[in-house]
Amino acid sequence: MTAHATSPTSGTPATPATPAAPPSVAATALALGDDALVLSHRLGEWAGHAPVLEEEVALANIALDLLGQARVLLSLVGDEDELAYLREERAFRNVQLVEQPNGDFAHTIARQLYFSTYQHLLYERLAASDGPLTGLAAKAVKEVAYHRDHAEQWTVRLGDGTPESHDRMQRACDALWRHTGEMFQPINGTADTDSTDGTSGIDVDWPEMEASWTASVTAVLDRATLKVPEGPRTGAWSAGAGRQGLHTEPFGRMLAEMQHLHRSHPGATW
Amino acid sequence: MATAAAHQAAGTPAAHATSDAIGTASGPDSGPDSGTAAYQAAFDTAVAAEERIEPRDWMPDAYRATLVRQIAQHAHSEIIGMQPEANWITRAPSLRRKAILMAKVQDEAGHGLYLYSAAETLGTGRDELLDKLHSGRQKYSSIFNYPTLTWADVGAIGWLVDGAAITNQVPLCRCSYGPYARAMVRICKEESFHQRQGYELLLALSRGTDAQHAMAQDAVDRWWWPSLMMFGPPDDESSHSAQSMEWKIKRHSNDELRQRFVDICVPQAESLGLALPDPDLRWNEERGHHDFGAIDWTEFWEVLKGNGPCNEQRITQRRRAHDEGAWVREAAAAHAAKHSGASGKATA
């Protein structure tokens, strides 16, 4: 990681120096770690604003699980705090879906539905494989199963609730749809068809996973009396863009807030 | 029904079977005077014997009302208290600290849930209590009307505010009302953990760079006096104290608890390497306690009246979250109604 090599020490003695993972594994860990870090941050923005107390607990719980996953994944790549706080926007590898602003509760739930279904399918496959991320995936898959269940239940409740909640949920599903195709782009440096020699971070049949995702999300939307959105799932700009460090405008502001304090005290220990 | 003595004394040995009768006896104009007197006597005996009063036991109306007021205010404080700390979740300076803070704010929501449940055992609903919070008819702890201006405030809240809360709440674990006492046992365990984390956060800052040390000192300077105010007005101005102590809801006076807190904090501040902002603070050999300076009670009453730095902001955010969430709660209720029996998972 260039960020790791060139940034000033951020002094985080709590994080032991981890031997750098092989480059292909590191690229995957960074991408998945950024997904979890960024979505965790967005969910953290809900604290104190949720529609009901139980959701304060649930959203914070999911945010914490994701933050825990992010810390393990980023630590495979380098120092977690340097990676989180000292990289600029163009160096982040998360998909654009997770950086989308919270919007109303329906938007947050639609984002959770799309992403947690993806994450669950991915971690199930990684947990069953024999690779460097197997251990992490085996632990995370249990958490993510809960996130997915939470998102599915709320999607059904809102879709099949009142006319207003139905409309809001449909609008949210439609609005985020164009960011869903990106999740199934092979992660740089790992999924080349000619490098499935066991050293790559993950070995995933992306088209097969995408088909599972589509079937699952379609079934949930059906139960929720919602229409499966019709627009394109990727565009010229969004196809794999986040994984290449091309993000949406709100993301820079999110990072400005997240990183401000850490960057204001270079070299400090917290 | 923990108060066996109460029921024997009231002449209702088959207490479980007659709980409805006991329930009706709790109304303001209930039953013949002799019956109420017997219940009252049984209640007094049970309280004196350190027995726990349980939800279906007879209790004086004023006891019920005091508990509802106190437990609701406690629950509201947990909920409003999420705001000053949540203010820093998105800016926490390390991922470890961010995780700790998120977990803490989540715990506070959980404490709010326990406490609303405890209040509900007294015959009032969460919706009704929230409505009273939103309309200003019930209060929350005045401490949460102060702003969190720097990261160090998160540590000062953990160390001082949670520390004061624990000093106040540990005796409540022996409170005469069972559901409240049991909620406090759970809550105090988690609060102690939060307090240690706050202390440790401040210690890291105090031992850090000059700028970090200054940030920590500034936070302690701003939070010290408001924390002392958390124990409430001085004993001679505390309207509910005497009755609450008689009922064994409260175990120590405001001033006793405040003194205990000061005595605990002084050595902790020393080991933190931070000063407490009170020139009159010194050990009094004769009393075996620390003397400390006068509290600005004018400020206290102003904050309590709604004129603190964040009163308006806190309640506005709480109302907005509730109002903007109305459609979600309505959706959950509508969904549950459509699928009643089949799903029943609505949380509204």
Give A134-144 pLDDT, tens digit per residue: 999 999 999 99
Please compute, for residue B347, the number of CA atoms within 13 A of its CA located in the half-sphere on the CB side.
17
Give A82-119 pLDDT, tens digit per residue: 999 999 999 999 999 999 999 999 999 999 999 999 99
CA angle A14, B90, B133 (to 5 degrees): 120
Interface touch A48/B86, C-beta < 8 Å: yes
Q: How far apart are CA A34 and CA A197, in angstroms?
A: 25
Q: Which residue pairs, CB below 8 angstroms and at least 24 apart, start in A125-132?
A: A125/A202, A125/A204, A125/A209, A126/A202, A126/A204, A129/A202, A129/A203, A130/A198, A131/A198, A131/A200, A131/A201, A131/A202, A131/A203, A132/A21, A132/A22, A132/A25, A132/A76, A132/A201
Å from A84 to nearest chain B CA? 8
ipTM: 0.90
Interface touch B328/A53, C-beta < 8 Å: no
Which is it for the CA torsion B61, B67, B70, B75, positive or negative?
negative
Domain map (residue ranges) of chain A:
23-264
Q: pLDDT value at position B7?
A: 44
Across the range A136-156, mean pLDDT stands at 97
Of A49, A60, A270, nearest to B97 by CB-CB distance is A270
Of A10, A51, A257, nearest to B91 by CB-CB distance is A257
Any residues with CB less than 8 A from the CB of A139 and at least 6 apart, and which? none
Q: pLDDT value at position A236?
A: 65
pLDDT at A168 exceeding the cut of 50: yes
Interface touch B335/A160, C-beta < 8 Å: yes
Q: How far apart are CA B106 and CA B100, in angstroms?
A: 10
Q: Which CATH superfamily is domain B51-306 in?
A: Ferritin, core subunit, four-helix bundle (1.20.1260.10)
Q: pLDDT value at position A243?
A: 92
Residues of chain A positioned with their CB less than 8 A from the CB of B322: 51
* Stated pTM of the model: 0.89
Give B308-331 pLDDT, tens digit per residue: 999 999 999 999 999 999 999 999
Number of residues written out for chain A:
270
Q: pLDDT value at position A201?
A: 56
B18 vs A176, which has greater pLDDT? A176
Per-block mean pLDDT, blocks of 10 residues, chain B (348 long): 45 39 44 78 95 96 96 97 98 98 97 97 95 95 97 98 96 96 95 96 98 98 98 88 91 96 98 98 98 97 94 97 98 96 49
Interface touch B327/A258, C-beta < 8 Å: no
Burial of B333 (0-12, 13-18, 19+ CB in 10 A): middle
Residues of chain A positioned with their CB less than 8 A from the CB of B212: 265, 268
Å from A151 to nearest chain B CA? 13
Of B321, B326, B338, nearest to A50 by CB-CB distance is B321
Å from A91 to nearest chain B CA? 18
Residues of chain A positioned with their CB less than 8 A from the CB of B111: none
Domain map (residue ranges) of chain B:
51-306
Q: How far apart are CA B160 and CA B238, in angstroms?
A: 22
- Token pair 């209790």: residue: B59
Q: Which CATH architecture is the domain A23-264 placed in?
A: Up-down Bundle (1.20)
- With CA atoms as reference, the chain B residue closest to A66 would be B99
pLDDT at A158 exceeding the cut of 80: yes
Å from A28 to nearest chain B CA? 20
Interface touch A261/B93, C-beta < 8 Å: yes
Kindly report the average pLDDT of chain A as a whole number: 88
Q: pLDDT value at position A240?
A: 72
3-state secondary structure A189-256: CCCCCCCCCCCCCCCCCHHHHHHHHHHHHHHHHHHCCCCCCCCCCCCCCCCCCHHHCCCCHHHHHHHH
Mutate which: A49, A169, A259, vs B, most B CBs within 10 A: A49
Residues of chain B positioned with their CB less than 8 A from the CB of A74: 95
Interface touch A168/B82, C-beta < 8 Å: no
pLDDT at A197 exceeding the cut of 60: no
Burial of B249 (0-12, 13-18, 19+ CB in 10 A): buried
**Residue B192 structure tokens:** 């102690």
